[in-house]
Amino acid sequence: MPRIKYTDNDVNLIARMMRAEAEGEGRQGMLMVGNVIVNRVKASCLDFKDLRTVRDVIFHVQGGNYSFEAVQKGNLFYNPAREVEKRLAKQTLDYWRNHPSKFALWYFNPFGQCPPTWYSQPFSGQFKQHCYYEPQANTCESVYTY
């Protein structure tokens, strides 16, 4: 059973975002980015309580900017998804979760070390250049359910 309901268009959107945000971090890095997207769809809390679809998450605007930099600046995001990225996207939609992105709602690639918090939420770990942050359990129970 999939983690969230999705369409072929959702697979394409996630696949494009995974490549645009983490192609340089290999398949594992792309899976982690995809997992954050799925977690945001599942999350009924914080900045994500009104986001119910993959499209809502990908094109979410906060503070006048898209939540994902690749939507605004990344030409890779606007290229068609390749089959390898589509397969990875389906993995995250269907079952894939792994530390440090397992429960993460945020990630970013800092110029230095990962800060201990991001948007007041705790650091869950790092994979290559990306730092991942998950919500405090008492602020977002929905992200901790399968």
CA nearest to 105, candidates 29, 48, 23: 48
- Domain membership of residue 31 (yes or no) is yes
14 pLDDT exceeds 80? Answer: yes
Question: Which residue, chain included where needed, has tokens 């606007």?
Answer: 78
CATH value at residue 70: 1.10.10.2520
5 pLDDT exceeds 90? Answer: yes
- Domain membership of residue 51 (yes or no) is yes
pLDDT the model gives residue 137? 76
pLDDT the model gives residue 145? 80
- Domain membership of residue 89 (yes or no) is yes
pLDDT grade for 74, boundaries at 50, 70 and 90: confident
- Domain membership of residue 74 (yes or no) is yes
Domain count, the chain: 1
What are 124's two structure tokens?
């869950």
- Domain membership of residue 117 (yes or no) is yes
What is the three-class DSSP state of 118? strand
Q: What is the pLDDT of residues 28-50, one digit of tens each?
A: 999 999 999 999 999 989 999 99
- Domain membership of residue 1 (yes or no) is no
DSSP string, 65-116: EESSHHHHH-TGGGSPPPHHHHHHHHHHHHT---TTTTT-SEEE--SSSPPS
Q: Which domain holds residue 69?
A: 8-144
pLDDT, mean of residues 57-72: 93
- Domain membership of residue 2 (yes or no) is no
DSSP H or E stretch at residue 61: strand 61-62
- Domain membership of residue 16 (yes or no) is yes
Task: List 146's β-bridge partners, or say none.
Answer: none
